[in-house]
């Protein structure tokens, strides 16, 4: 063993919880929150890091920069669409939600934040779990989810509705043998004008090459409580991850609205020269299954006893 000289003894102490974590409103004190089911579609885009920098100013966060093969570095944004349910003691909750996020990390963790490619990051190789999602805007169609997000985590969350058609085990199948559609059509409606939209995203994942991956727990950051809040999202199960080819990137259709809603403005600013880089999907398994019935009295084709 080499002699490295005297080691500095750390000043070990703990801080009362009230100095570390936000106080929970009484109606939301049953944390952690458990999802009964979850379906996600996350699409990632490379963007210019300099365009992203103003969004971390004063937050204590840094924009995560991912090296490309040509030696340049890019920031990454994502649209995190999710459908989930919750079981309460007196009701069931259903939520459709999207997070518009920027990948970032806490500045006070430097120099312990690893630099790696986006491929490595999405395959769970940041074992420090410090690179995470800064929530720039969050929309949900459930008022309780909006209130909880704002008061518990400081999310910039607002109420809005969605129009969507996404893959599901209960969707109609086509062809012989039957094939399930892998087409995702998502529209976030403008809260200020129900005939308008914030964005429309259309992706067809048929024949994509998917790799099972585990990148949880995922750090998530929000700044709406006056200080930056860090939470960890643990998704129980594996993502399916695809690194997009140039042809697949070109097939990702994102249309951003032309209105002056704040999320729309920020999307237009950040998506100034986007390249879709990767996609992830997650589906929690069904809890039970019931197939179609059959006639008990049928013993030979349609002949009855």
List residues bridging with 282 in a β-sheet: 40
Residue 34 has pLDDT above 90, yes or no: yes
Q: Which pLDDT band holds residue 91 (cuts at 50, 70, 90)? A: very high
Q: Identify whether the C-beta of residue 158 lies closer than 8 Å to the C-beta of residue 143.
A: no
CA distance 5 to 23: 44
Q: Which pLDDT band holds residue 153 (cuts at 50, 70, 90)? A: very high
Q: Which pLDDT band holds residue 5 (cuts at 50, 70, 90)? A: low
Residue 231 has pLDDT above 90, yes or no: yes
- Which candidate, 75, 83, 102, 104, places its Cα nearest to that of 41? 83
State the pLDDT at residue 19.
76
Q: Which residue has the tokens 């069931």?
A: 92
CA distance 103 to 270: 13
Residue 246 has pLDDT above 60, yes or no: yes
How far does Cα 119 stand from its chain's mean position? 16
> In sequence order, which residues have a C-beta less than 8 Å from that of residue 26 and are 6 or more positions away?
none
Average pLDDT over residues 106-115: 93
Task: Look up the pTM and report it.
Answer: 0.91
State the pLDDT at residue 7.
67
The percentage of the chain sitting over the pLDDT mark of 90, rounded to a whole number, equals 76
3-state secondary structure of 34: coil
State the pLDDT at residue 173.
80
């Amino acid at each position: 063993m080499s002699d490295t000289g005297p080691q500095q003894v750390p000043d070990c102490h703990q801080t009362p919880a009230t100095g570390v974590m936000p106080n929970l409103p009484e109606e939301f004190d049953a944390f952690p929150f458990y999802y009964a089911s979850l379906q996600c579609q996350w699409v990632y885009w490379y963007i210019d890091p300099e365009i992203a920098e103003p969004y971390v100013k004063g937050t204590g966060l840094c924009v995560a920069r991912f090296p490309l093969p040509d030696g340049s570095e890019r920031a990454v944004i994502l649209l995190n669409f999710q459908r989930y349910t919750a079981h309460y003691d007196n009701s069931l909750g259903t939520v459709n939600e999207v997070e518009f996020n920027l990948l970032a990390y806490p500045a006070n963790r430097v120099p312990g934040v690893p630099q790696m490619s986006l491929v490595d990051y999405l395959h769970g190789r940041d074992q420090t779990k410090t690179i995470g999602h800064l929530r720039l805007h969050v929309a949900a169609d459930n008022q309780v989810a909006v209130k909880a997000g704002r008061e518990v985590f400081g999310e910039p969350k607002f109420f809005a509705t969605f129009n969507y058609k996404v893959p599901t085990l209960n969707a109609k199948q086509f062809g012989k043998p039957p094939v399930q559609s892998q087409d995702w059509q998502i529209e976030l409606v403008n809260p200020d004008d129900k005939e308008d939209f914030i964005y429309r995203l259309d992706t067809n994942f048929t024949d994509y090459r998917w790799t099972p991956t585990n990148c949880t727990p995922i750090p998530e950051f929000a700044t709406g409580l006056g200080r930056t809040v860090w939470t960890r999202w643990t998704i129980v199960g594996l993502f399916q991850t695809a690194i997009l080819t140039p042809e697949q990137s070109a097939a990702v259709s994102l249309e951003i609205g032309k209105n002056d809603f704040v999320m729309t403005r920020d999307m237009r600013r950040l998506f100034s020269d986007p390249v879709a880089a990767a996609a992830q999907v997650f589906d929690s398994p069904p809890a039970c299954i019931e197939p179609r019935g059959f006639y008990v009295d049928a013993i030979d084709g349609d002949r009855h006893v």
